[in-house]
Amino acid sequence: MIIHKAYQFRLYPNNIQKEMINKTLGCTRFIYNYFLNRKQTEYKNNKKSISAYECIKELPNLYKDRPYLKEIDSMSLRCAIFDLEDAYKGFYKKIRNYPNFKKKYDKNSYRTNRITSNYKEAHYENIKLDLKNKTITLPKLKEMKI
């Protein structure tokens, strides 16, 4: 049995971090809407669906066309693609309605994944939580008070 843990904190970002969070929200919304449009046009034209992994393979081409996507956490972009995939799966199972385009003024949120690795006796984590000092270190946002 696998147990997943999730934590929820109130963040106190500085002005630079607020700007980066807003950029991340905008870019994840753009990626979600871009690939929703791609999936719809591909299905209309060829009657075939694009998988999430095919969408992830297209991300490097989008980085070339839109360099602002490189400024934010790449895992949040991948999570947006997987969220779109989950929305389609829910639609096919008749649990949810058809996926809609995300709007700027709807509920804004994004996710990222925690990555840990041990390589050549060096330990790496992209998200670090320090409960003594009440800080969290997030990708591209650096250390932030909680």
- Residues 5-39 have pLDDT tens digits of 777 888 899 999 999 999 999 999 999 999 999 99
Q: What does the pLDDT average to over 63-88? A: 91
- Of 112, 103, 106, give the one whose Cα is nearest residue 140: 112
Q: Could you tell me if residue 11 is inside a domain?
A: no
Residue 60 pLDDT exceeds 80: yes
Beta bridge partners of 136: 129, 144
Q: Could you tell me if residue 71 is inside a domain?
A: yes
List, in order, residues 6 or more apart from 133 with CB less than 8 Å away.
none
Q: Could you tell me if residue 43 is inside a domain?
A: yes
Cα 105 to the center of its chain, rounded Å: 18
Q: Could you tell me if residue 31 is inside a domain?
A: yes
Q: What does the pLDDT average to over 43-51? A: 88
Beta strands in the chain (DSSP E): 116-119, 122-125, 128-130, 135-138, 142-145
- Angle (CA) 136-137-143 rounded to 5° is 90
Distance from C-alpha of 114 to C-alpha of 4, rounded to nearest angstrom: 12
Q: Could you tell me if residue 16 is inside a domain?
A: no
Distance from C-alpha of 135 to C-alpha of 146, rounded to nearest angstrom: 5
Higher pLDDT, 92 or 22: 22
Expressed as residue numbers, the domain containing 78 is: 27-98+114-145
Radius of gyration of the chain (CA): 17
Q: Could you tell me if residue 83 is inside a domain?
A: yes
Q: Could you tell me if residue 105 is inside a domain?
A: no
Number of domains in the chain: 1
Q: Could you tell me if residue 103 is inside a domain?
A: no
